[in-house]
Structures are given as C-alpha cells and as structure tokens.
C-alpha cells in the first residue's frame, strides 16, 4: 500500500484550504504531521480519512479501514449521540448509547478492545452513556475504537492530549507494538512527545506541506524542531535593559533624513541625488540590483561609510559631521547583514554575542551586568538555543549564527533595525525562521525596520513603504 496525494487542493467546511499537497506515504513509514496552530495539520490527516472537498488533484491508495482519533472525529461521534437524543421526541429521557455499544461494534476485534479497556482502566464505564463521559474519558473510548478496528492505517491526531502521564506512557508502548505491522500517521504539536517509531516528519504551514524530513537526517530534523518551536511558542520579545537606556528621540523629527545624497569615488559615481526620509514607526523595504548602492546607503545611515561626513545626513537628532561619534549614532541602530556575519568571527559564547548588541561591538569588551545576561538568556530561549549559551559562536551553523545576530541587533530594542538581506545564504527552513522572527519584531511596533532583500517572496507582513534603487547611469 502506498498512499499518494498528487497536487491536491482540498476545501473544508469552514473555508479552510489545503493547497499544492504532494505527499507519499509508504507502507513501512510512520509519519508525524506537525506545524503551528492553524497550519493545516489536522486537515491533512482528515484527507487521509476521506474528509474534505477535493477541488483538484488526486488521491490514491487510501486504505480501509482506518482507525482515526481526532477532535473532529470525537466531536462527530458526540454530535451524532446528541442528535439521537434530539430525535427522541417522546417525553422519555434518553439514556444515550452505552460505552459498551460504542466500542464493541462489528468492525472491532473484541479481544484487542477488551485488552485496551483493561489497560485504560475503563471497565467501570462500559455501561455508562457515552455522551455523559468527560472529554478525557470519551477520548480514551475513541482511542480504543481506533486501535482495535483492524485498521490498515492509524491516524492519531493529538492522541496524547488530556491523558495523564501513566496512561500516556502505556499508550506510547502500545503504539510501538502496533507500529510493527500498521502504518501510523500522527499529528502532534510538540516534538518532545514524538514516539521513537516515527520515521518521517511533515511540516505544514498555511495549508501547504512545506517540509518533509526523514527522522534520521539529524541536521534537518533539528532545524525543523527549532522552526516549530519558534512558530508554536507564544513569542515574547524579551524586554530592553533599563540600565543601558537609549536616549529619547524627538517624536516630531524623522528618524533619518537623507538629502541629495551623492556617493562618489575618484573614478565613479555610485549614488546621485537621492533623498530618503524615514519617520518613526515606518517600516521600509529597500530593493535594487547588485551595485545599485543599497549597502552604501545603509552604511551612510549607520556611520560606517566614510562619505557620511560629506553628505547631508540627519540621523537620530544629529546632523552628521558636527562632533558626534559613531557610537552615539550606533546606539540607536540594530544591524544585521551577511557582511556583519563574516566580520563576526569571534570565538566568544552565544550569550556574549547577544550581549554585545548592547555595546554595538563585535565581540564583548565590557563587563556585562546580571540583567543583561538574563535578557540574553531569554533571547536564547526564544531561539531554542538555551542549552548552548556557553557554546562558541564560530562553531554554530550558518543559519543559527544569523538568528543569533538578529537577536543581537534586537536586544536593545533599537528605534531603527536594519536587516540587510537577512535571509541571504540561508536554506528554506532557516529563511522561514528568520522571517518569523522579523514579523514578531514588526508587530511589536516600537522599532522601525528597514528590510533589504532580493527575493520578492520574502515579503514581510507589516512593511508598507518601498524604496527601489536603480543602477546609477554613471556607474556602468
């Protein structure tokens, strides 16, 4: 048996859609479907159970019978029971179907069911009406039904939800036995509950099947874990450090005002006559081909370009070239770019890399406070790296380094956050991690973001100002 979903579009009652589903489940495989809330995990599982309105594409090899545990299936059963009650228009109080009848139907292997009833310690409930059960109890009944129906495929959508720990452990063990001969597809929100027998992971996002990872591909699995962590945790951006206050800015003034900017070298002109004003709380996307001067403009703002002294630049209350130091400018800015990552070749710890954001330094050269360490640890937790706080930065994967540098840029809650192609060189999963983090930052709305990118698909929710540069005519 191979289940085959090919370019499938499915619509569900509430208008939810699954799109572009291409998926193949082999007989020997056990899948985990995961993703954030609302990503379409349960919907994909339900498709295997024959639910949903197929708009286009095809399904093949769907087995029968299927053992299905899910909130939807549970709700359906309870609903049916309630309808029976409604249908009883006599003045007799319906007792409802007893649990025994719900479980022991003709499709059920009675011996297995009885075994499970004992294991779940449900004997005392067999004569009670199903609709009188608590949610946890009815969930157990659902599970017993599904596991004893001689299924060709088991679909277990959050089967552990609401189970106490001993029952949870019992079920895990039981499933490991079943997995010897029955393929299992599980839906779980939490990676730490994944049974050992799961061999593949499917990651859903916005109704699409975004990633399919083999369990034994450790690197990809770890990234997926991190992505899920970021997507499913209620992201709380850690607080700023009250001891390293950024001076208050005059809200009447723009953050940045560039007037008639020209960047030229003895033999060429890179930028000619550019004006750009960034007001507080504006988010900008800056784009343009290679060599159009994107990075030059940003480094005029950050003070890293020597010609910031020969141009009309107003930043954070300073008209440049009047005795201010670049550290007075940089305190207002968080900055991430590929170049920064190249320059950040420091053997210092992950925690120190984040703390260095308070000092705008590459490496840490100042004694940090306990509060700064605490904040850094909160960021590490947010990134799912809390176990590696003392790990050397330069031993980190490329994607993790980038995430850490974004945290470094954000740690002081700067009025302006500059993200110069933050996704460049990252694989798809890491790109989504980065974008998820940036969206959280934009939502918080205390920081203006300048986002530079090439990939149009990397649009970020919340950015609504655009500056597109062209190659200067003199620069060819």
CB of 302 to other proteins, least distance (A): 11
Q: Which is nearer to other proteins, 392 or 462 (CB)?
A: 392
Q: Which residues contact 204 (CB under 8 A, 6 or more apart)?
A: 33, 34, 35, 39, 40, 41, 44, 210
**218-232 helix and 428-444 helix, angle to the nearest 10 degrees:** 20
Q: Tell me how far CA of residue 291 lies from CA of 266, 287, 302, 308, in angstroms.
A: 17, 11, 19, 18
Question: In whole angstroms, how close is the CB of 265 to other proteins at the nearest point?
Answer: 5
**Whether 291 contacts 475, CB under 8 Å:** yes
Query: Cβ 211 to other proteins, closest distance in Å?
Result: 36
Closest to other proteins by CB, 88 vs 390, is 390
Neighbours of 161 (CB within 10 A): 15
List all residues 6 or more positions away from 181 whose beta carbon is below 8 Å from its beta carbon.
none
Closest distance between other proteins and the C-beta of residue 304, in Å?
Answer: 8
Beta bridge partners of 21: 8
Helix (H) or strand (E) segment spanning residue 144 = helix 135-147
Chain centroid to Cα 117, Å, comes to 38
Q: Which is nearer to other proteins, 121 or 343 (CB)?
A: 343
Token pair recorded at residue 219? 């690197």
Which among 308, 298, 309 is positioned nearest to 417, based on CA atoms?
298
- Residues of this chain that bind other proteins (CB under 8 A): 265-266, 303-304, 306-310, 323-328, 343, 346-348, 352, 356, 359-365, 367-368
Least distance in angstroms from the C-beta of 271 to other proteins: 14
Closer by beta carbon to other proteins, 118 or else 366: 366
Residue 475 is encoded by which pair of tokens?
């620069």
| Cβ proximity to other proteins, 133 vs 270, nearer residue | 270
Cβ 361 to other proteins, closest distance in Å? 3
Name which of 418, 447, 425, 435 is nearest 230 in CA terms.
435
Of the candidates 31, 435, 47, 36, which has an alpha carbon nearest to the alpha carbon of residue 19?
A: 47
What does the block give as tokens for 195?
A: 């049974």
Query: For residues 63 and 363, which CB has a smaller minimum distance to other proteins in the complex?
Result: 363
Q: Which is nearer to other proteins, 309 or 398 (CB)?
A: 309
Between 126 and 340, CB nearer to other proteins: 340
Instruction: Give least dist CB 303 to other proteins, A.
Output: 7
Min CB(398)–other proteins separation in Å? 21
């Amino acid at each position: 048996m191979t289940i085959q979903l090919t370019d499938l579009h499915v619509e569900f009652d509430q208008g939810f859609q699954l799109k572009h589903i291409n998926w193949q489940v082999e007989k020997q495989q056990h899948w985990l479907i995961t993703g954030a809330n609302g990503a379409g995990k349960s919907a994909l599982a339900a498709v295997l159970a024959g639910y949903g309105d197929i708009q286009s594409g095809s399904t093949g090899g769907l087995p029968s019978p299927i053992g299905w545990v899910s909130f939807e299936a549970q709700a359906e059963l309870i609903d049916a029971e309630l309808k029976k009650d409604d249908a009883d228009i006599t003045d007799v109080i319906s007792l409802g179907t007893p649990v025994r009848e719900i479980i022991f139907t003709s499709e059920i292997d009675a011996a297995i069911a009885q075994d499970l009833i004992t294991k779940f310690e449900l004997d005392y409930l067999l004569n009670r009406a199903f609709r009188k059960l608590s949610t946890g109890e009815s969930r157990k009944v659902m599970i017993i039904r599904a596991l004893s129906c001689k299924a060709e495929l088991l679909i277990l959508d959050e089967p552990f939800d609401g189970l106490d720990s001993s029952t949870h452990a019992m079920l895990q063990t039981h499933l490991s036995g079943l997995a010897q001969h029955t393929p299992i597809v599980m839906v779980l929100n939490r990676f730490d509950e994944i049974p050992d027998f799961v061999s593949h992971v499917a990651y859903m996002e916005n109704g699409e099947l975004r990633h399919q990872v083999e369990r034994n591909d450790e690197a990809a699995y770890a990234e997926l874990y991190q992505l899920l962590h970021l997507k499913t945790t209620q992201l709380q951006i850690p607080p700023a450090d009250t001891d390293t206050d950024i001076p208050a800015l005059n809200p009447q003034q723009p953050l940045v005002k560039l007037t008639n900017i020209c960047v030229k070298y003895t033999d060429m002109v890179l930028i000619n006559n550019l004006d750009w004003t960034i007001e507080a709380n504006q988010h900008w996307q800056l784009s343009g081909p290679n060599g159009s001067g994107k990075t030059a403009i940003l480094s005029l703002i950050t003070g890293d370009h020597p010609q910031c002294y020969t141009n009309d630049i107003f930043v954070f209350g300073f008209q440049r070239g009047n005795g201010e130091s670049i550290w007075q400018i940089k305190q207002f800015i968080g900055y991430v770019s590929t170049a920064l990552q190249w320059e950040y070749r420091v053997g210092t710890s992950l925690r120190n890399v984040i703390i260095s954001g308070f000092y705008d330094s590459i490496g840490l050269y100042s004694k940090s406070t306990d509060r700064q360490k605490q904040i850094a640890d909160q960021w590490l937790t947010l990134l799912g790296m809390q176990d590696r706080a003392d790990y050397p930065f330069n031993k980190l994967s490329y994607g993790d380094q980038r995430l850490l540098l974004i945290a470094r840029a954000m740690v002081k809650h700067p009025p302006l956050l500059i993200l110069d192609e933050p996704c460049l060189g990252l694989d798809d999963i890491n790109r989504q991690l980065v974008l998820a983090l940036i969206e959280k930052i934009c939502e918080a709305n205390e920081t203006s973001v300048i986002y530079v990118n090439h990939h149009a698909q990397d649009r970020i929710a919340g950015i609504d100002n655009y500056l597109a540069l062209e190659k200067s005519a003199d620069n060819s």
